[in-house]
Structure 1
């Protein structure tokens, strides 16, 4: 991925969610950590245009998020913290097909790509399962499969291991670590964050550390007082 933030800030009325940021991220994997309300989710949402900068600009793999919003959403897929809110169809395979057909795939193409992405994530048996029947880990994998079926080059994941048991957490982490797509992971899971090659630490709407996991997590612990 190649992310360029140039004088980028986000303001909601009088509240500054992200102070002016100049940053370039060129990486295959990067993590984003920080306390609640630190600006990390605002930062992540800027990457695929879910949030637009109040000032400045964001360029994702050469695409300006404000100038070409549809194109950037095809480039950077977003998996939300609560995947159940993201899967809009009642059956897993139907949800994946729906997204593909909305992007212009034929029925045959949608069927083939749905089967392929379910197999890739090892959840082919979930194809006809109803979304409300899935476990937390199954929901996360189904949401990731639904986004990856649309062939983004970057996947932005917001708290992908949140509230998962150890078994499902292991499955989700394995899926993230082995996927071909570039990934930016927002997480409170410091054990998982420590496995990522580069971490960005946000605090009170500012980027306060950017580097290897050991030193960045140590700085985070100083801020959190733990």
Structure 2
């Protein structure tokens, strides 16, 4: 579970401080959560806040793991990132080694002390995502879809409990977008996904709408106020419909 308590983000510019995110208080426990909003709305900042890539200027972000331990993203950043993986929009931002095998192996350097164990785990991760035949190929020769699969394999090889994905399908064609979307939805990890893909958002258990650095709509609030048996799914679609109406 991820909990934000009055978490605010300010940025310093030449003209002074700018509020990037207004104070946000949320408890995120659903298996699949979508963050939607226009470009510049603050959803990517919020996504990065959830695993400590960005620290709150004030307030706090805490992660409670399956074993009941609680970590603060500022005080316990390294521990948070062991439990909460992050997938960038552009896989090039996290693919740093010459080949897929080397990239996944690098991600395992802390969790697997033995070089042999790292190599075996890396090969297993590539096999899981259908990349075994590309293990020793140059990363630069991979297609966009293959690079995003590799980025996902690299993050999930360390077995985080939560995956934060920041617009993971934005740079992909329709076929690969569907492929990555289906794969993300099938993962056992809790997923928080910032996305412009409203069809993908509709498959989530909760939708949070961000605008001008603030939460302006949250399907969990609608669900709590509804007595319908399928209120969660109704409220997800209501949140998406609200967002569509707000941008047209």
Structure 2: how far apart are the matches of 1:218 and 1:49? Answer: 31
Q: Of the candidates 215, 218, 239, which is equivalent to residue 216 of structure 1?
A: 239
Structure 2: how far apart are the matches of 1:95 and 1:28? Answer: 28
Partner SS state of residue 145, structure 1: helix
Which structure 1 residue ranges, 4+ long, deviate > 2 Å from structure 2?
Answer: 102-105
Structure 1: how far apart are the matches of 2:148 and 2:131? Answer: 11
Aligned to 1:138: 146
Q: Deviations over 1:169-189 (max 9, x none)?
A: 122112111111111111001
Aligned to 1:101: 109
Aligned to 2:226: none
1:15 aligns with 2:14: no
Moved more, 128-137 or 3-12: 128-137
Aligned to 2:40: 37
| C-alpha deviation, 1:48, in angstroms | 1.1
TM superposition score normalised by structure 1 = 0.95
Superposition pairs of residues 135-214 of structure 1, within 5 angstroms: 135-211=143-219, 212-214=235-237
Aligned to 1:24: 27
Gaps of at least 5 residues in structure 1 are: none
Q: Deviations over 1:59-83 (max 9, x none)?
A: 0122111110110010101111110
Structure 1: how far apart are the matches of 2:134 and 2:238? Answer: 40
Aligned to 2:2: 3
Structure 2: how far apart are the matches of 1:124 and 1:179? Answer: 19
TM superposition score normalised by structure 2 = 0.87
| Rg (Cα) greater in structure | 2
Structure 2: how far apart are the matches of 1:15 and 1:196? Answer: 32
Structure 1: how far apart are the matches of 2:187 and 2:130? Answer: 12
| C-alpha deviation, 1:167, in angstroms | 1.9
Gaps of at least 5 residues in structure 2 are: 65-69, 220-234
Aligned to 2:67: none
